[in-house]
Amino acid sequence: MKRIALLGATGSIGKNCLDVIRRLRSQFRVVTMTTNNNTEILAEQAEEFRPTLCAVMDPHKVDDLQDRLSERKIQIRTGPEGLLEAATHPDTDLVVNALVGAVGLIPTIRAIEAGKDVALANKESLVMAGEFIMNLAQEKKVQIIPVDSEHSGIMQCLHGNRREDVARIILTASGGPFFNRRAEEFQSITPQQALEHPTWNMGPKITVDSATLMNKGLEVIEAHWLFGVPISHIEVTIHKQSIIHSLVEFTDGSILAQIGPTDMRLPIQIALTFPERMESPYPRVRFEQTRMLTFEKPDHEKFPCLRLAYKAAQDGGTTPAVLNAANEIAVQAFLENRISFEKIPSLIEETTTRHVRADRPSLNEILTADRWARGYVMKQLP
């Protein structure tokens, strides 16, 4: 039986992860679960999965969680220490990091330091500190298993193949809801429109990132660190049907693609069971019902976030962490109706341009750059 720490249990990935575990109860036990402030859902989940420890980040919600679970012998924790206790609990084997944003970085690092394998949905960890994390994982001999469907696809294509035989990684992108909208109309895009993703049902931050194509930019950086492939060998293609989750081209010209339904439970299950496979009841791809598979080049002028992410990745050092932090603050401001959709990339560009990069940064330098970028963007907000 694999013992799981589930960070971000109340989010989109967290709930899907519990759905997978619900069907594979004899294989997995959830030992720790966390939320930011959603104590109502966390308490319901804890009633069902009976973890040893629950952590709520927001200290104002800890009494509420305690009250809701007063009948149960579940340890309750709060604040960053509570989150880290959940991430490093001695009775766990695999940490599923389903937190959103930079808050996921330190739990990823602490989990690796504690010798845990990590099923990583929190791509921001690798964007901020990919080199640091991958070196640490190697040192501690732990696995970082991707949860993102694209990276799960690449991992499956690479399985049994040699890394030195990889010529190119092709990440597929749905294109988001505005792929066909004219650039002149971007000014009027509302948060509500940006939150309506055509193929995936996800948390608000990644949904907006998908609409700006920043999500794909973050995934390029994630793939670079996970698979050790140079940025210049990682391409993006717009594939609206989201059936091919990514492709790997080898030096002999052969291309492997991973195909599956648009259902995150499948890559989550693969991350939990990898390298083994288990049966699943999830929808199957029926090619007869898929009239065509299309592939288009992304427009880097209309979607500057993708261009900015490539540039930050090429610049390296602390720049990707700054890109990530600026994006988090800008997306939040857009969701709060404080800035327009178009302002997201321009704020990020201004911030990454102003940043004085540190090369081969320490964790401290990365966190300092993250803080600086957040402060800088906040000062530019109306």
Residues that bind ligand NAP (CB under 6 A): 8-14, 35-38, 57, 83, 98-100, 103, 121-124, 148, 200, 202-203, 205-206, 264
Residue whose CB is less far from ligand NAP, 100 or 247: 100
Structure tokens at 229: 């492939």
Residue whose CB is less far from ligand NAP, 122 or 249: 122
CA 173, CA 6: separation in Å to the nearest integer?
27
Structure tokens at 324: 């990530």
Residue whose CB is less far from ligand NAP, 40 or 350: 40
Residue whose CB is less far from ligand NAP, 61 or 249: 61
Using a 10 angstrom Cβ sphere, with 0-12 exposed, 13-18 middle and 19 or more buried, the burial of residue 251 is: exposed
Least separation in angstroms between residue 67's CB and ligand NAP is 17
The C-alpha angle 337, 343, 346, rounded to 5 degrees, equals 155
Residue whose CB is less far from ligand NAP, 125 or 352: 125
Least separation in angstroms between residue 360's CB and ligand NAP is 25
Please choose, from the candidates 105, 72, 185, 2, the residue with its C-alpha nearest in 3D space to the C-alpha of residue 369.
105
Residue whose CB is less far from ligand NAP, 203 or 217: 203
CA 47, CA 42: separation in Å to the nearest integer?
9
In 10 A of CB 93, how many CB atoms? 15
Amino acid symbol at 175: G
Structure tokens at 94: 């695999």
Least separation in angstroms between residue 272's CB and ligand NAP is 15
Least separation in angstroms between residue 107's CB and ligand NAP is 9
Least separation in angstroms between residue 288's CB and ligand NAP is 27
Least separation in angstroms between residue 259's CB and ligand NAP is 17
Using a 10 angstrom Cβ sphere, with 0-12 exposed, 13-18 middle and 19 or more buried, the burial of residue 146 is: buried
